[in-house]
Amino acid sequence: MMNNFDEIQKMSKDSMDMAMESFGSMSKGFQAIAAEVADYQKKSFEEGTAAVEKLVASKSLDTAFEAQADYVKTSYESFVGEMTKIGEMVTDLSKDAYKPYEGIIGKFGK
C-alpha cells in the first residue's frame, strides 16, 4: 500500500512540475508578444506622425496624394509583416508550452 502511495505522490509531483514548466513557457511567450506589440505600436505611431507632418508640409495636392499613398503602402506592408511575426511567435509559444507533455502523451499514444 505504501508503495502505491509513493507512486501516486511521484506522479502528482511530476505532473505539477510539467504544468509549472508549461506555464513558465507561456508566461515568457506572452511577455515577448506583448513587448513586440508595444514596439510595433510605437513604431507605427512614429510613422503616422511623420506621414502627417509630410502631408501638412506638402506644397501641392499631387505631393500630398503621393505622401499619403506611400504611407498607406508602407503601413500595410509593416502590418502584414508584424502579424506574420506575431503568428510565428504564437506558434513557437504553443510548441514550447506543449513540450513538457510530449513524453507523457507519447506513453498513452502507444
Domain ranges of the chain: 2-109
Full-model pTM:
0.76
92 Cβ partners below 8 Å, 6+ apart? 29
Q: Which own/partner pairs from 16-22 qualify as long-range (CB within 8 Å, at least 24 positions apart)?
A: 17/100, 18/100, 18/101, 18/104, 19/100, 21/99, 21/100, 22/97, 22/98, 22/99, 22/100, 22/101
Q: Per mean pLDDT, which range of 14-23, 61-70, 72-81, 95-104 is the poorest? A: 95-104
Instruction: Please say if the pLDDT value at position 27 is more than 70.
Output: yes
Residue 2 pLDDT level (bands cut at 50, 70, 90) = low
pLDDT in tens, 47-89: 999 999 999 998 999 999 999 999 999 999 999 999 999 999 9
